[in-house]
Amino acid sequence: MSHTQFQSAEQRSRRLALGYLACCAALPFSMFPSSVQAAATKRVVSVGGALTEIVFMLEAGNALVGVDSTSIYPSKATAFPNVGYARQLSAEGVLSLRPSHVLVTEEAGPPAVLRQIAAAGARITTLPANHRYVGLRQRVLGVGRVLERSDTAQVMLEQLDATWEQVRQQVAAQTTHSLARPVRVLFVLAHSPAQVLVAGAFTAAQAMLSYAGAFNAVQGFKGYKPLTPEGLIAAQPDCLLVTEQGLQAAGGLEAILQLPGLDQTPAGRSQAVVAMDALRLLGFGPRMPEAVLALHQALQAV
Amino acid sequence: MSRLGAVLRAQPNWWLGASLMLALALAVQVGAVPVSIADWFAMLKLVEWSALGDLTQTPSAGSHVLFHLRLPRLLLSVLVGASLGLSGALTQSLFRNPLAEPGLLGVSAGAACAAALTIVMLGDLAAVIHPQARAWLLPLAAFIGALVVCFSLESMARWIAPGSVAALLLTGIAMNALAGAVIGLCTYLADDEQLRSLSFWTLGSLAGAQWLWVGLFAGVLATGYYRLTRSIQTLNALALGEAAARHIGVDVHALRKQIIVWVALLAGLAVAFCGMISFVGLIAPHLVRLWVGPDQRQVLPLAMLLGGLLLLVADTLARTVAVPAEIPVGIFTALVGGPFFFLLVRQVRGRTT
């Protein structure tokens, strides 16, 4: 977005132009024209892939002036100035975008930098970062409130709720009907054969697995921990779950299947590996319900 | 080249001081937020209002950035760099080894280790403590960690082999390994959120700079320098070796204790507020010694100036290269210091052979 690089002398005309652009862009899509102008006068920095997705879902992308490095969807989000990694923000960097509002999740930091940004007059809204559907609802409502698009957010939420209900029913139906035990799945981050991390409790991956009616093959620890070949054999996963980005970094499907010990598990013998886009699978943004469904279907097919 | 060298060697204080001032003047003008002359005048107004106790008004965005973000950060980087340079120079003179630095003694690792333990073990406790106090909990823990390492170094080294600097050095290396193991264990036990705080201590950052910290560092550094200048001659005597120093009447034991306490204070505070910033403590005094020779009367102040300059340049790069994002400062301390170091070593080689 080249319009963010104008000099301060041109602020006025720029704001007008922005407002005009915003109206043009948003009017055809919005059911609430009165809130469009309010959103256009805001300058929002969105820190968090899920939050940026919600901003675009609410058709308020024109209020954005900056995003963080996890905001990679939709692809037009990547055109905005990037304030870097959400956990290593720079106060001056964020302030240089002259934001009126900064949207963050609880994961953003460091806290001192957030305090500095708030002290400079930008309003910081912190939204929950949990891995639950309720959290997604709170994020949608929170972003809607900040952008003064609560009505649109409410409409989106009803759609999300409807989709979610369908997904839940579908997952419930298939898991209760099938007589077999739930699929044992291992979520693997293997950037090199020497360092294989798997997801335990309180991770986005485990939350997605349980929503999709699957069973995390490793239990008894929190977060991501290294896995030994023996641990892998003991876990006996029916299927491996990876992110597409992780798969690429590891060197493709072949490399994943070469993991020591994997050939001693059902997943290795049947070469069952499911790969999904990282932000879609683990981002807990607005695509989460359909991602649960896609994951469920992919795991059923294994 | 040799003429330039002669000019540089004639007035090193002046050259370094001028470079530091120039770097400060340049650094204060660059950054993500552009500042104008008007912002400077607005800042004066802001200072006046702050002095009157009115913190609610802000004349302009640029002045806010200048006064609350950029100036404290620039000054803190100079002060922390100077602290690291001074503690590095002290360590090197104590061990009579140009490759020694507080990191080698395990002081930095001890501080980071205490911080890591606090993050992981006291996570629940921190929620109970008043938020205002919580901000000080980690720096305090890091500082205590540095002090504990320093004092146990003293007593352990005396227990292993009394009076031997080699024993102290070896104890330091063992301390480092121990602290490293504890940090590793903490990293393993930490959950995602704790891991995030941990990474701050290992990467190092000046992003949280406040005026309060600037004042604290200035006070400690000034006191430390004042105290040490009084024993600077004995530091020179120490360069002859411990036995020789003792023979000419230096109380080596007391001197060693004094140096260790100040190294802990300077390096520990730096880690406590800014995390582990590598290379400055090693490179600043080493460069200075290559430049002006081993006389501590010159090495100590120059190492402070050069340390401050190095960290200022590194931090300015860190906050401006990837605008509006930021790059960890440790990357630049090595990037700035490394090539400079090579050049100087090369020049010295050329001179002696």
Query: How far is the alpha carbon of A87 from chain B, nearest alpha carbon, in Å?
Result: 7
- Compute CA distances A188 → A170, B35, B190, whole Å: 26, 48, 19
Per-residue pLDDT, B96: 76
pLDDT digits (tens, 9 = 90+) for A40-52: 589 999 999 999 9
> For the packed helices B71-95 and B211-229, what is the interaxial angle rounded to 10 degrees?
30
Supply the mean pLDDT for chain A: 84
Closest to B106 in 3D by CA, of B155, B165, B153, B159: B153
- Compute CA distances A170 → A134, A276, B265, whole Å: 19, 20, 63
Supply the mean pLDDT for chain B: 82
Q: In a 10 Å sphere around its CB, with 0-12 CB exposed, 13-18 middle and 19+ buried, how is residue B315 labelled?
A: buried
Query: How far is the alpha carbon of A160 from chain B, nearest alpha carbon, in Å?
Result: 28
The predicted model gives A1-10 an average pLDDT of 42
Q: Return the higher-pLDDT residue of A280 and A16.
A: A280
Per-residue pLDDT, B260: 82
CB pairs under 8 A between A and B: 92
Q: Chain A, 66-85: which have a CB under 8 Å from a chain B CB?
A: 66, 69, 81-85
Per-residue pLDDT, A274: 95
The token pair that represents A148 in the structure block = 């003064």
Per-residue pLDDT, A33: 43
If you search the block for the tokens 């264990």, which residue do you land on?
B185
Distance in angstroms (rounded) separating the CA atoms of residues A171 and A164:
10
**Of the candidate ranges A33-42, A292-301, B228-237, the one whose mean pLDDT is the lowest:** A33-42
A190 pLDDT tier (thresholds 50, 70, 90): confident
Q: Chain B, 68-127: which have a CB under 8 Å from a chain A CB?
A: 68-70
Per-residue pLDDT, B50: 73
Question: CATH classification of A178-301 is 3.40.50.720, yes or no?
Answer: no
Say if residue A11's pLDDT is above 80.
no
Say what percent of chain A tops pLDDT 90.
Answer: 58
Say what percent of chain A tops pLDDT 70.
Answer: 84
Per-residue pLDDT, A7: 41
Using CB atoms, pick whichever of B65, B190, B322 lies closest to residue A120: B65
Say if residue B19's pLDDT is above 70.
yes
Query: How far is the alpha carbon of B37 from chain A, nearest alpha carbon, in Å?
Result: 14
The token pair that represents A162 in the structure block = 């409807």
Query: How far is the alpha carbon of B220 from chain A, nearest alpha carbon, in Å?
Result: 23
Class in CATH terms, A2-158: alpha beta
Closest to A187 in 3D by CA, of A196, A177, A174: A196
The predicted model gives B52-81 an average pLDDT of 83
A210 in contact with B, Cβ within 8 Å: no
Domain range list for chain B: 72-352
Per-residue pLDDT, B9: 67
B322 in contact with A, Cβ within 8 Å: yes
Per-residue pLDDT, B352: 52
Asked if A93 lies within 8 A of B208 by C-beta distance, the reply is no
pLDDT digits (tens, 9 = 90+) for B154-196: 777 777 766 666 777 788 888 889 998 998 898 888 777 677 7
According to CATH, the topology of domain B72-352 is ABC transporter involved in vitamin B12 uptake, BtuC (1.10.3470)
Closest to B315 in 3D by CA, of B18, B63, B26: B26
B14 pLDDT tier (thresholds 50, 70, 90): confident
Per-residue pLDDT, B22: 94
Could you say which DSSP state residue B69 is in?
Answer: I
Per-residue pLDDT, B4: 64
- Compute CA distances A12 → A7, A18, A38, whole Å: 10, 10, 17
Per-residue pLDDT, A4: 40
Using CB atoms, pick whichever of A91, A119, A223 lies closest to residue B191: A223
Say if residue B344's pLDDT is above 50.
yes
If you search the block for the tokens 């930008």, which residue do you land on?
A122
The residue in chain A having the minimum alpha-carbon distance to the alpha carbon of residue B67 is A120
A223 in contact with B, Cβ within 8 Å: yes
pLDDT digits (tens, 9 = 90+) for A94-120: 999 999 999 999 988 888 889 989 988
Q: Return the higher-pLDDT residue of B52 and A17.
A: B52
Say if residue A8's pLDDT is above 50.
no
Query: How far is the alpha carbon of A7 from chain B, nearest alpha carbon, in Å?
Result: 10
Within 8 A of A105 by CB-CB distance, chain B residues are: none
Asked if A8 lies within 8 A of B328 by C-beta distance, the reply is no
The token pair that represents A94 in the structure block = 């964020």
Distance in angstroms (rounded) separating the CA atoms of residues A252 and B20:
51
B64 in contact with A, Cβ within 8 Å: yes
A168 pLDDT tier (thresholds 50, 70, 90): very high
Q: Return the higher-pLDDT residue of A15 and B305.
A: B305
The residue in chain B having the minimum alpha-carbon distance to the alpha carbon of residue A45 is B324
Asked if B324 lies within 8 A of A82 by C-beta distance, the reply is yes
Q: Return the higher-pLDDT residue of B46 and A173.
A: A173
Whether residue B75 contacts residue B303, with contact meaning beta carbons closer than 8 Å, is answered with: no
Chain-centre distance of CA A157, in angstroms? 17
Domain range list for chain A: 2-158, 178-301
